[in-house]
Amino acid sequence: MVGIGSVAQFVDLRREVERLRTENARLGRLLELRGQDTSAAPEQLSAPVELPGLVTMASPTHDKLALFADRFRARTDVYAMRWNNVRTGAAGYRTLGFTRT
């Protein structure tokens, strides 16, 4: 059964969606007035890169960087961060997303 809070949340979300659609239409009209293209950008598909087989911890740095660059080719807002677990001795990298200004 759906509670009253869920219905209220749904109504609020529908209002927000409509507000955002109205705002997008307004911004699109402003861009058209300036002569700028308002069509959506095409999807960026990753082109295959020749990688040297399996990349392991023993692989050269160049191969590791090539693998990372291939995996995150279209993501200019993602960066690697090194992590270490002192207790277990485990280490590795994780990705972080940043908003650059």
| pLDDT of 43 | 64
pTM of the model: 0.34
The band of 101, judged by pLDDT with boundaries at 50, 70 and 90, is: very low
The band of 95, judged by pLDDT with boundaries at 50, 70 and 90, is: confident
Distance CA 75, CA 9 (A): 33
- What is the tens place of the pLDDT at every residue in 29-71? 887 777 766 666 666 555 555 655 788 888 889 888 888 877 7
Give the per-residue SS3 of the chain: CCCHHHHHHHHHHHHHHHHHHHHHHHHHHHHHHCCCCCCCCCCCCCCCCCCCCCCCCCCCHHHHHHHHHHHCCCCCCEEEEEEECCCCCCEEEEEEECCCC
14 or 3, which is more confident = 14
Name residue 79's beta-bridge partners: 96
**Domain extents in the chain:** 1-38, 47-101
| pLDDT of 76 | 67
